[in-house]
């Protein structure tokens, strides 16, 4: 008993504890802490607007936090061989659920992205994100060893199926995020630069087609380019919140934006942070995400297993890009996109999906990890 969780502990749990990156765990804990404080501030007004009790969103969020830690620790125990196997099974399952959502899902603001499970609304497309990263890394790593294996083609077909399904919902932002992550993995894999040039041109063409095809996308872009062309209430309130917060903020619970901004507890929670706690908390949040990304890349700096390198790259790009999109949208640096701030915004599906990503990240960045091929 005296050797428990010491370097002399040779149990499975003891070995696991001394091989995982505890700095990443600390960062995740801090993000959860910041998110809890901000949900305590923004949750009650949001609950009042839908006629629920004051702690409706707070209570649900606090249910998900211990569940997320359980998921993180569970996936952190899984070795790379089983991660590959799980990725195929779960990816197929969540793609199927996403297709069902199009037929039987709840419609919200013209999009069908959620299905009802007991008292919770589940967004299946969120769970595609971690598993498509691992699946893509697996396919590319096989092609890296066997040049005749069509790993790039297989991953492209699956990505195309996923993006087609998401477009039917529609969820264009999620599709673009997944395409960006896939391109980052191909870059690490070693695809020639001409491929990225062609991909960029194709992406630009698809962006124009998307703008012309989907009215809600065109509306967001138009309002971003010309603020007078439509209703910019939410973004105007968010910018006002940052202005009111200044350097040190108005103080905990003293913000006003949460009372007038419908999505203050989700898409615009960064604005709540800026108003109530000021510039310093916004910088602290940015620092945490930057530290998480840099720390993960440092852990694989001398990694020779191409599967691990491609997987970590995809996971880090995914989490950091989602955070960047959320914060940039709140600051009106890009058109608004309904994307949560990982571990901070309210949303069980997003939290669980990101927890899976972090669990896999911890598994693949363990010291002296033994990869079974």
**Which pLDDT tens digit goes with each residue over 45-75?**
888 888 788 888 888 888 899 999 999 999 9
Cβ atoms of 29 and 241 within 8 Å: the answer is: no
**Chain position carrying tokens 């590959």:** 84
Which of 136 and 12 is assigned the larger pLDDT? 136
CA end-to-end span of the chain: 35
pLDDT tier, 111 (very low <50, low <70, confident <90, very high otherwise): low
Residue 52: per-residue pLDDT: 80
Element (H, E) at 154: helix 151-168
Residue 236: per-residue pLDDT: 83
Residue 373: per-residue pLDDT: 42
Instruction: With H, G, I as helix, E, B as strand and everything else as coil, classify residue 275.
Output: helix
Residue 139: per-residue pLDDT: 95
Residue 207: per-residue pLDDT: 77
Whether 1 has a pLDDT exceeding 50, the answer reads no
Residue 300: per-residue pLDDT: 84
Instruction: Give the mean pLDDT of 332-360.
Output: 89
Which of 105 and 189 is assigned the larger pLDDT? 189
∠ CA 130-350-319, rounded to 5°: 55
Instruction: Give the mean pLDDT of 218-226.
Output: 71
Which of 369 and 323 is assigned the larger pLDDT? 323
Mean of per-residue pLDDT scores for the chain: 85
Whether 110 has a pLDDT exceeding 80, the answer reads no
∠ CA 98-167-308, rounded to 5°: 65
Instruction: Give the mean pLDDT of 248-257.
Output: 83
Whether 122 has a pLDDT exceeding 60, the answer reads yes
**Which pLDDT tens digit goes with each residue over 273-327?**
999 999 999 999 999 999 999 999 998 888 889 999 999 999 999 999 999 999 9
Residue 125 is classified by DSSP as: G
Residue 371: per-residue pLDDT: 44
Instruction: With H, G, I as helix, E, B as strand and everything else as coil, classify residue 116.
Output: strand
For residue 232, CA distances in Å to 10, 198, 212, 238 come to 59, 35, 21, 10
């Amino acid at each position: 008993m005296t050797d428990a969780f010491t370097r002399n502990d040779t149990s499975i749990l003891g070995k696991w504890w001394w091989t995982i990156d505890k700095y990443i765990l600390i960062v995740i804990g801090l993000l959860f802490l910041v998110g809890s404080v901000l949900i305590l501030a923004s949750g009650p007004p949001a609950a009042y607007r839908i006629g629920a009790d004051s702690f409706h969103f707070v209570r649900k969020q606090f249910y998900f936090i211990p569940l997320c830690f359980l998921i993180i620790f569970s996936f952190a125990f899984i070795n790379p061989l089983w991660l590959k196997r799980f990725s195929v099974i779960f990816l197929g399952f969540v793609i199927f659920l996403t297709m069902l959502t199009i037929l039987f899902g709840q419609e919200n603001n013209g999009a069908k992205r959620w299905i009802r499970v007991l008292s919770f609304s589940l967004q299946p497309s969120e769970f595609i994100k971690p598993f498509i990263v691992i699946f893509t890394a697996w396919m590319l790593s096989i092609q890296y060893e066997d040049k005749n294996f069509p790993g790039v083609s297989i991953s492209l077909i699956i990505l195309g199926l996923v993006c087609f399904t998401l477009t039917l919902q529609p969820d264009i932002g999620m599709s673009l995020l997944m395409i960006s992550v896939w391109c980052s993995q191909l870059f690490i894999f070693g695809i020639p630069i001409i491929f990225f040039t062609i991909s960029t041109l194709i992406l630009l063409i698809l962006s124009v087609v998307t703008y012309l095809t989907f009215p809600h996308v065109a509306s967001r872009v138009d309002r971003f380019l010309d603020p007078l062309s439509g209703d910019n209430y939410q973004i105007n309130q968010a910018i006002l919140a940052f202005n009111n917060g200044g350097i040190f903020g108005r103080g905990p619970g003293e913000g006003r934006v949460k009372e007038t901004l419908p999505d203050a507890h989700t898409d615009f929670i960064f604005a709540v942070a800026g108003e109530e706690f000021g510039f310093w908390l916004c910088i602290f949040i940015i620092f945490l995400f930057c530290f998480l990304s840099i720390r993960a890349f440092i852990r694989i700096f001398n990694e020779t297993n191409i599967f691990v390198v491609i997987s970590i790259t995809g996971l880090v790009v995914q989490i950091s890009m989602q955070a960047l999109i959320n914060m940039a949208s709140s600051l009106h640096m890009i058109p608004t996109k309904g994307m949560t701030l990982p571990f901070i915004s309210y949303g069980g599906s997003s939290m669980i999906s990101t927890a899976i990503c972090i669990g896999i990240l911890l598994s693949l960045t363990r010291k002296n990890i033994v990869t079974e091929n």
